[in-house]
Amino acid sequence: MIIAEKLKFSIAGTESAAKQAYDFFAWPADCDTIRGVTCRFSIDYWIKQYVRGDLILRLYTIENGEKSSQIAVEKAGRLYCLRDLGLQFENMNALICHADLSVMQQLNCFVNAATDAGIHSVLPEETRILAPIEYPLQDVLCVGLNYTEHIEETKQVEDFSRKEATVFFSKRVSRALGMHAEIPDYDFVDSLDYEVELGVILGKSIKDYKAGRDPDPVFGYTVINDLSARNVQFRHKQWYRGKSLDGYTSMGPCIVTVDEAGDVQNLEISCSVNGQLRQHSNTRMMMSGVQALLEEVSQGMTLKAGTVMATGTPGGVALGMAAPQYLRPGDTVACRIERIGTLVNRVQAKCKP
């Protein structure tokens, strides 16, 4: 009943909605304990929240002076931990895979109420922001060469200008880096490159998906830096190992749900290194948009809920430069996508002998 006391839920006239929420989250059945709590929200408030059904959520995985990570929601520049709202999810994967529409609607409702009630919250700068999905359930599904500029700039390495089908591959992500986490500097890597990409997270499993016919399976979007060791990539004649070294996937700073992202095929996307703009495009420049990619890759192939897909990078990577400016120890790389946020990481400085 802590949640009721904290939020000072109104019982008068709102019992039905409150009971529904209690039942849903399997809170203790003795709702009597919330009787008498100060009336704060009217029935109109609850109905408005329920009927409106907004799913505008910005979800974070954070560490806030505790050993275990927890999920938080951002509202008005502050973070509200789901645990403090009485909502328990083991991690973001559990939330994504088990939270259906009604859970998300109610979650949104409680966060709105928490904001209004001014319950405990933290500022983002007071906490450590981890990757929203630190441990992806499977390898991250990647799309190669999905922006014309990137195909043009890498032609001298391999010419994909006449490709007839989308290039799909994957990368291993044992643990994704979050905001401000350091990118490892390996002795055997001499050409570390950055790739800002729109990350797509599936909330439902799909197979033989048809865009427009089937319900949209996307849970939300994030920013991904598909870090790549070019020398390793070329030595092994494929991309898997050069993109799968520990610490070579950075993700975040949050997941925005589909409504918050708006038109996902019209978002500014950019990457800068030490403040110098290197990549700058718009997701409308993708050769295959998110829905077309999901349709193509899911034919005869199951994509499970929780799948993370990186949708390709625009032009401007170091590999495409006449004199490549690869990332060096101490460099700061900032990947930004409109309406989602900016993901900042620094390359680990080499230890001085």
Binding site for Mg ion (CB under 5 A): 195, 226, 313
Minimum CB separation of residue 197 from Mg ion in Å reads 6
Which lies closer to Mg ion via its Cβ, residue 8 or residue 172?
A: 172
Minimum CB separation of residue 90 from Mg ion in Å reads 29
Minimum CB separation of residue 146 from Mg ion in Å reads 9
Instruction: Count Cβ atoms below 10 Å from residue 323 Cβ, excluding itself.
Output: 5
Q: Do 202 and 218 touch, CB atoms closer than 8 A? A: yes
Minimum CB separation of residue 312 from Mg ion in Å reads 6
Residue matched to tokens 């190992």? 241
Distance CA 258, CA 262 (A): 7
Which lies closer to Mg ion via its Cβ, residue 74 or residue 195?
A: 195
> 230: which residues sit within 8 A by CB, 6+ positions away?
191, 192, 193, 242, 318, 319, 326
Distance CA 208, CA 347 (A): 40
Which residue, judged by CB position, is nearest to Mg ion in the bound state? 226
Which residue from 191, 190, 92 is spatially nearest to 133, judged by alpha carbons? 92
Structure tokens at 325: 């400016």
Which lies closer to Mg ion via its Cβ, residue 185 or residue 195?
A: 195
Which lies closer to Mg ion via its Cβ, residue 150 or residue 204?
A: 150
Tell me, what amino acid is at 108? Answer: N
Minimum CB separation of residue 180 from Mg ion in Å reads 22
Which lies closer to Mg ion via its Cβ, residue 79 or residue 264?
A: 264
Half-sphere exposure in the Cβ direction for 21 (13 Å, CA): 28
Work out whether strand 128-130 and strand 192-193 pair parallel, antiparallel, or are unpaired: unpaired
Minimum CB separation of residue 226 from Mg ion in Å reads 4
Which lies closer to Mg ion via its Cβ, residue 93 or residue 313?
A: 313
